[in-house]
Amino acid sequence: MIPIIDLADYVAGRPGALARTARQVHDALTSVGFFVLTGHGVAEAKIARAFDEAKRFHTQAMDWKLALKMNEHNNGYMAMGRYAVWTSDVNKNDKPDLNEAFFLKRERPATDPLLRSGRRFVGPNRWPGEADLPRFRANLLDYMDTMDDFARRFLPAIAVALDLAPNHFADDFSDSHFSFRLSHYPPVAADANQFGIAPHTDANFMTFLAQSEVPGLEVRMPSGEWLAVPHVPGSFAVNSGDMLKRWTNGRFKSTPHRALPPIGRHRYSVPFFLGPRFDAVIDCLPTCAGPGNPPQWPAITYAEWLAYWYDANYDPKVQDDAAA
Protein backbone atom coordinates (compact mmCIF):
# COMPACT_ATOMS: atom_id res chain seq x y z
CA MET A 1 0.00 0.00 0.00
CA ILE A 2 0.99 3.64 -0.45
CA PRO A 3 1.26 5.28 2.99
CA ILE A 4 -0.84 8.29 3.98
CA ILE A 5 0.90 10.84 6.22
CA ASP A 6 -1.17 13.48 8.02
CA LEU A 7 0.96 16.59 8.45
CA ALA A 8 -1.46 18.64 10.55
CA ASP A 9 0.49 18.31 13.82
CA TYR A 10 3.78 19.03 12.06
CA VAL A 11 2.40 22.15 10.37
CA ALA A 12 1.01 23.34 13.72
CA GLY A 13 4.38 22.78 15.41
CA ARG A 14 2.97 20.49 18.10
CA PRO A 15 5.41 18.73 20.47
CA GLY A 16 6.82 15.50 19.09
CA ALA A 17 5.35 16.05 15.64
CA LEU A 18 8.71 16.42 13.88
CA ALA A 19 10.01 13.10 15.21
CA ARG A 20 6.73 11.29 14.43
CA THR A 21 6.57 12.69 10.90
CA ALA A 22 10.24 11.86 10.31
CA ARG A 23 9.65 8.22 11.25
CA GLN A 24 6.72 8.00 8.83
CA VAL A 25 8.73 9.66 6.05
CA HIS A 26 11.64 7.30 6.65
CA ASP A 27 9.39 4.25 6.52
CA ALA A 28 7.67 5.46 3.33
CA LEU A 29 10.83 6.40 1.45
CA THR A 30 12.76 3.25 2.37
CA SER A 31 9.89 0.93 1.45
CA VAL A 32 7.76 2.43 -1.32
CA GLY A 33 9.29 5.81 -2.18
CA PHE A 34 5.82 7.37 -2.41
CA PHE A 35 3.29 8.66 0.10
CA VAL A 36 0.10 10.70 0.16
CA LEU A 37 0.35 13.87 2.24
CA THR A 38 -2.69 15.35 3.98
CA GLY A 39 -3.02 18.18 6.50
CA HIS A 40 -0.36 20.17 4.66
CA GLY A 41 -2.00 23.57 5.06
CA VAL A 42 -1.76 24.68 1.42
CA ALA A 43 -5.04 26.43 0.67
CA GLU A 44 -7.46 24.38 -1.41
CA ALA A 45 -8.38 27.52 -3.36
CA LYS A 46 -4.77 27.94 -4.52
CA ILE A 47 -4.58 24.33 -5.64
CA ALA A 48 -7.88 24.62 -7.51
CA ARG A 49 -6.66 27.81 -9.18
CA ALA A 50 -3.50 26.04 -10.40
CA PHE A 51 -5.64 23.34 -12.03
CA ASP A 52 -7.85 26.04 -13.57
CA GLU A 53 -4.80 27.76 -15.05
CA ALA A 54 -3.54 24.47 -16.52
CA LYS A 55 -6.86 23.97 -18.26
CA ARG A 56 -7.04 27.59 -19.37
CA PHE A 57 -3.58 27.40 -20.94
CA HIS A 58 -4.03 24.10 -22.73
CA THR A 59 -7.40 25.01 -24.24
CA GLN A 60 -5.71 27.78 -26.24
CA ALA A 61 -5.06 27.36 -29.98
CA MET A 62 -1.97 25.38 -30.98
CA ASP A 63 -0.39 28.29 -32.88
CA TRP A 64 -0.72 30.41 -29.75
CA LYS A 65 0.95 27.75 -27.60
CA LEU A 66 3.74 27.14 -30.12
CA ALA A 67 4.65 30.83 -29.93
CA LEU A 68 5.69 30.02 -26.34
CA LYS A 69 7.55 26.79 -27.12
CA MET A 70 10.37 25.63 -24.86
CA ASN A 71 13.54 27.70 -24.84
CA GLU A 72 17.09 26.58 -24.06
CA HIS A 73 16.30 26.80 -20.34
CA ASN A 74 13.48 24.26 -20.78
CA ASN A 75 10.90 26.87 -19.90
CA GLY A 76 7.76 27.17 -22.00
CA TYR A 77 5.45 24.96 -24.01
CA MET A 78 6.16 21.33 -24.89
CA ALA A 79 4.03 19.85 -27.66
CA MET A 80 2.61 16.36 -27.35
CA GLY A 81 4.25 13.32 -28.90
CA ARG A 82 7.88 14.47 -28.96
CA TYR A 83 9.40 13.51 -25.63
CA ALA A 84 9.76 10.76 -23.06
CA VAL A 85 12.31 9.87 -20.43
CA TRP A 86 14.55 7.99 -22.86
CA THR A 87 17.17 7.33 -20.15
CA SER A 88 14.69 5.39 -18.01
CA ASP A 89 16.05 2.13 -16.64
CA VAL A 90 12.51 1.08 -15.71
CA ASN A 91 11.19 0.39 -19.19
CA LYS A 92 12.46 0.51 -22.76
CA ASN A 93 10.69 3.74 -23.62
CA ASP A 94 10.64 3.88 -27.41
CA LYS A 95 7.53 5.98 -28.07
CA PRO A 96 6.88 9.61 -27.12
CA ASP A 97 4.51 10.49 -24.31
CA LEU A 98 0.88 11.43 -24.88
CA ASN A 99 0.83 14.71 -22.98
CA GLU A 100 1.56 18.35 -23.58
CA ALA A 101 3.00 20.61 -20.92
CA PHE A 102 4.02 24.12 -19.97
CA PHE A 103 7.12 24.51 -17.78
CA LEU A 104 8.09 27.26 -15.36
CA LYS A 105 11.01 27.69 -12.99
CA ARG A 106 11.90 30.19 -10.28
CA GLU A 107 11.08 33.72 -11.45
CA ARG A 108 14.29 35.71 -11.07
CA PRO A 109 14.53 39.52 -11.08
CA ALA A 110 16.66 41.23 -13.72
CA THR A 111 19.38 41.87 -11.13
CA ASP A 112 19.66 38.21 -10.06
CA PRO A 113 23.28 37.01 -10.49
CA LEU A 114 22.26 33.60 -11.82
CA LEU A 115 19.90 35.13 -14.37
CA ARG A 116 22.59 37.60 -15.45
CA SER A 117 25.14 34.79 -15.76
CA GLY A 118 23.47 33.45 -18.91
CA ARG A 119 23.81 29.86 -17.69
CA ARG A 120 21.27 27.29 -18.83
CA PHE A 121 18.23 26.41 -16.73
CA VAL A 122 18.24 29.68 -14.78
CA GLY A 123 17.02 31.86 -17.63
CA PRO A 124 13.69 33.66 -17.95
CA ASN A 125 10.29 32.01 -17.97
CA ARG A 126 8.08 32.31 -21.03
CA TRP A 127 4.80 34.01 -20.19
CA PRO A 128 1.72 34.67 -22.30
CA GLY A 129 0.55 38.24 -22.49
CA GLU A 130 -1.68 39.54 -19.73
CA ALA A 131 -4.34 40.45 -22.27
CA ASP A 132 -4.47 36.84 -23.50
CA LEU A 133 -4.63 35.16 -20.08
CA PRO A 134 -5.40 37.73 -17.39
CA ARG A 135 -3.77 36.94 -14.01
CA PHE A 136 -2.24 33.70 -15.33
CA ARG A 137 1.24 34.88 -14.39
CA ALA A 138 0.23 36.28 -11.00
CA ASN A 139 -1.75 33.19 -10.04
CA LEU A 140 1.03 30.77 -10.94
CA LEU A 141 3.77 32.83 -9.31
CA ASP A 142 1.66 32.81 -6.16
CA TYR A 143 1.26 29.03 -6.33
CA MET A 144 4.96 28.42 -6.98
CA ASP A 145 5.93 30.67 -4.07
CA THR A 146 3.47 28.85 -1.82
CA MET A 147 4.75 25.42 -2.83
CA ASP A 148 8.39 26.44 -2.52
CA ASP A 149 7.75 27.76 0.99
CA PHE A 150 5.82 24.64 2.00
CA ALA A 151 8.32 22.20 0.50
CA ARG A 152 11.24 23.88 2.26
CA ARG A 153 9.35 23.81 5.58
CA PHE A 154 9.03 20.06 5.05
CA LEU A 155 12.81 19.61 4.76
CA PRO A 156 13.42 19.19 8.53
CA ALA A 157 11.29 16.03 8.47
CA ILE A 158 13.48 14.61 5.71
CA ALA A 159 16.67 15.59 7.55
CA VAL A 160 15.56 14.01 10.83
CA ALA A 161 14.43 10.91 8.94
CA LEU A 162 18.08 10.60 7.86
CA ASP A 163 19.43 11.08 11.41
CA LEU A 164 20.59 14.60 10.58
CA ALA A 165 19.98 17.93 12.31
CA PRO A 166 16.62 19.48 11.35
CA ASN A 167 18.34 22.40 9.58
CA HIS A 168 20.78 20.22 7.63
CA PHE A 169 19.32 21.06 4.21
CA ALA A 170 18.67 24.76 4.90
CA ASP A 171 21.67 26.11 2.99
CA ASP A 172 21.30 23.70 0.06
CA PHE A 173 17.72 24.90 -0.49
CA SER A 174 18.25 28.59 0.33
CA ASP A 175 17.67 29.38 -3.37
CA SER A 176 15.90 26.19 -4.36
CA HIS A 177 15.88 25.30 -8.05
CA PHE A 178 12.39 24.05 -8.72
CA SER A 179 10.38 23.29 -11.82
CA PHE A 180 6.61 23.58 -12.14
CA ARG A 181 4.72 21.76 -14.88
CA LEU A 182 1.18 22.30 -16.18
CA SER A 183 0.35 19.04 -17.94
CA HIS A 184 -2.58 18.01 -20.12
CA TYR A 185 -3.40 14.39 -20.87
CA PRO A 186 -6.06 14.11 -23.56
CA PRO A 187 -8.20 10.94 -23.77
CA VAL A 188 -6.43 9.41 -26.77
CA ALA A 189 -5.61 5.83 -27.73
CA ALA A 190 -2.05 4.71 -27.00
CA ASP A 191 0.07 2.39 -29.12
CA ALA A 192 1.76 -0.60 -27.56
CA ASN A 193 4.31 0.53 -24.97
CA GLN A 194 3.03 4.11 -25.10
CA PHE A 195 1.79 6.07 -22.12
CA GLY A 196 0.59 9.44 -20.91
CA ILE A 197 4.01 9.50 -19.26
CA ALA A 198 6.14 6.41 -19.74
CA PRO A 199 7.64 4.58 -16.74
CA HIS A 200 10.43 6.65 -15.21
CA THR A 201 11.91 8.03 -12.01
CA ASP A 202 11.98 11.76 -11.30
CA ALA A 203 15.30 13.57 -11.75
CA ASN A 204 14.83 16.05 -8.90
CA PHE A 205 14.92 15.89 -5.09
CA MET A 206 11.22 15.51 -4.25
CA THR A 207 7.96 15.94 -6.15
CA PHE A 208 4.68 17.31 -4.76
CA LEU A 209 1.69 16.52 -6.99
CA ALA A 210 -1.67 18.00 -6.08
CA GLN A 211 -4.20 15.21 -6.47
CA SER A 212 -6.76 15.23 -9.26
CA GLU A 213 -10.02 13.28 -9.28
CA VAL A 214 -9.17 11.98 -12.76
CA PRO A 215 -7.06 8.83 -12.30
CA GLY A 216 -3.90 8.00 -14.19
CA LEU A 217 -0.85 7.99 -11.91
CA GLU A 218 0.54 4.55 -11.05
CA VAL A 219 3.48 3.50 -8.90
CA ARG A 220 5.58 0.39 -9.31
CA MET A 221 5.58 -1.34 -5.94
CA PRO A 222 8.54 -3.35 -4.64
CA SER A 223 6.72 -6.49 -5.80
CA GLY A 224 6.81 -5.19 -9.38
CA GLU A 225 3.05 -4.62 -9.41
CA TRP A 226 1.76 -1.29 -10.75
CA LEU A 227 -0.61 0.30 -8.24
CA ALA A 228 -2.84 3.33 -8.79
CA VAL A 229 -2.19 6.14 -6.31
CA PRO A 230 -5.28 6.42 -4.10
CA HIS A 231 -7.28 9.60 -4.60
CA VAL A 232 -7.49 11.53 -1.34
CA PRO A 233 -9.18 14.91 -1.93
CA GLY A 234 -7.00 17.90 -1.11
CA SER A 235 -3.83 15.86 -0.73
CA PHE A 236 -0.42 15.74 -2.41
CA ALA A 237 1.08 12.59 -3.86
CA VAL A 238 4.75 12.88 -2.87
CA ASN A 239 7.77 10.96 -4.10
CA SER A 240 11.51 11.13 -3.73
CA GLY A 241 13.59 11.58 -6.88
CA ASP A 242 16.99 10.62 -8.23
CA MET A 243 18.81 13.41 -6.37
CA LEU A 244 17.50 12.32 -2.98
CA LYS A 245 18.35 8.71 -3.82
CA ARG A 246 21.86 9.75 -4.80
CA TRP A 247 22.32 12.00 -1.75
CA THR A 248 21.24 9.15 0.56
CA ASN A 249 23.41 6.53 -1.17
CA GLY A 250 20.28 4.62 -2.16
CA ARG A 251 18.80 4.61 1.34
CA PHE A 252 15.74 6.50 0.06
CA LYS A 253 14.17 5.14 -3.09
CA SER A 254 13.49 6.93 -6.33
CA THR A 255 10.44 4.92 -7.28
CA PRO A 256 9.30 4.23 -10.84
CA HIS A 257 5.92 5.63 -11.79
CA ARG A 258 3.88 6.25 -14.93
CA ALA A 259 0.66 7.88 -16.07
CA LEU A 260 -1.88 6.19 -18.31
CA PRO A 261 -3.95 8.19 -20.81
CA PRO A 262 -7.33 9.03 -19.29
CA ILE A 263 -10.49 7.41 -20.58
CA GLY A 264 -13.39 9.59 -21.70
CA ARG A 265 -12.23 12.85 -20.13
CA HIS A 266 -9.21 15.12 -20.03
CA ARG A 267 -6.72 14.99 -17.17
CA TYR A 268 -4.73 17.99 -15.96
CA SER A 269 -1.74 17.71 -13.65
CA VAL A 270 0.32 20.32 -11.76
CA PRO A 271 3.45 18.67 -10.29
CA PHE A 272 5.93 20.80 -8.36
CA PHE A 273 9.48 19.43 -8.65
CA LEU A 274 11.70 20.59 -5.79
CA GLY A 275 15.45 20.74 -6.32
CA PRO A 276 18.33 22.22 -4.30
CA ARG A 277 20.10 25.43 -5.25
CA PHE A 278 21.67 25.32 -8.68
CA ASP A 279 25.28 24.74 -7.60
CA ALA A 280 24.55 22.52 -4.60
CA VAL A 281 26.95 19.57 -4.41
CA ILE A 282 25.16 16.24 -4.24
CA ASP A 283 27.53 14.02 -2.26
CA CYS A 284 26.79 11.06 -0.02
CA LEU A 285 25.37 12.22 3.32
CA PRO A 286 27.44 11.34 6.41
CA THR A 287 24.69 9.15 7.86
CA CYS A 288 24.26 7.15 4.66
CA ALA A 289 27.65 5.46 4.30
CA GLY A 290 30.02 3.51 6.49
CA PRO A 291 32.06 0.31 6.72
CA GLY A 292 30.76 -2.07 4.11
CA ASN A 293 28.54 0.65 2.63
CA PRO A 294 30.76 3.02 0.62
CA PRO A 295 29.33 5.85 -1.50
CA GLN A 296 27.88 4.47 -4.74
CA TRP A 297 28.14 7.66 -6.80
CA PRO A 298 30.72 10.45 -7.15
CA ALA A 299 29.82 13.97 -6.09
CA ILE A 300 28.00 16.05 -8.71
CA THR A 301 26.48 19.51 -8.71
CA TYR A 302 22.79 19.88 -9.37
CA ALA A 303 23.61 22.04 -12.40
CA GLU A 304 25.74 19.23 -13.87
CA TRP A 305 23.00 16.70 -13.27
CA LEU A 306 20.35 18.89 -14.93
CA ALA A 307 22.51 19.41 -18.03
CA TYR A 308 22.92 15.66 -18.44
CA TRP A 309 19.28 14.79 -17.79
CA TYR A 310 17.62 17.50 -19.86
CA ASP A 311 19.88 17.01 -22.87
CA ALA A 312 19.21 13.27 -22.81
CA ASN A 313 15.44 13.49 -22.37
CA TYR A 314 13.98 16.97 -23.00
CA ASP A 315 16.29 18.59 -25.50
CA PRO A 316 14.46 21.78 -26.56
CA LYS A 317 15.78 21.45 -30.14
CA VAL A 318 13.27 18.63 -30.64
CA GLN A 319 10.59 21.29 -30.39
CA ASP A 320 11.80 22.89 -33.60
CA ASP A 321 9.61 20.56 -35.66
CA ALA A 322 6.56 21.21 -33.46
CA ALA A 323 4.92 23.40 -36.08
CA ALA A 324 5.33 20.80 -38.83
Query: Closest Cα partner for 99 from 200, 177, 25?
Result: 200
What strand order describes the sheet that includes 226-228?
197-200, 257-259, 217-220, 226-228
Interaxial angle between packed helices 44-58 and 136-161, expressed in degrees from 0 to 180 and rounded to the nearest 10:
130
Whole-Å CA distances, 62 to 69, 109, 233, 256:
10, 29, 32, 31
134 neighbors 1 (Cβ within 8 angstroms): no
pLDDT in tens, the chain (324 residues): 899 999 999 999 999 999 999 999 999 999 999 999 999 999 999 999 999 999 999 999 999 999 999 999 999 999 998 877 777 778 788 888 999 999 999 999 999 999 999 999 999 999 999 999 999 999 999 999 999 999 999 999 999 999 999 999 999 999 999 999 999 999 999 999 999 999 999 999 999 999 999 989 999 999 999 999 999 999 999 999 999 999 999 999 999 999 999 999 999 999 999 999 999 999 999 999 999 999 999 999 999 999 998 888 777 777 665 444
What residue numbers bound the domain in which 161 lies?
4-321
CATH number at residue 137: 2.60.120.330
- Cα 228 from chain centroid (whole Å): 18
Which residues 6+ apart lie within 8 Å of 211 measured at CB? 36, 229, 231, 232, 233, 234, 235, 236, 237
Residues 119 and 131: their CA atoms lie apart, in Å, by 30
Q: Is the pTM of this model over 0.85?
A: yes
Backbone phi, psi, residue 188, to 5°? -120, 155
Domain count, the chain: 1
User: Are the CB atoms for 209 and 236 separated by under 8 Å?
Assistant: yes
Contact 100, 181 (CB under 8 A): no
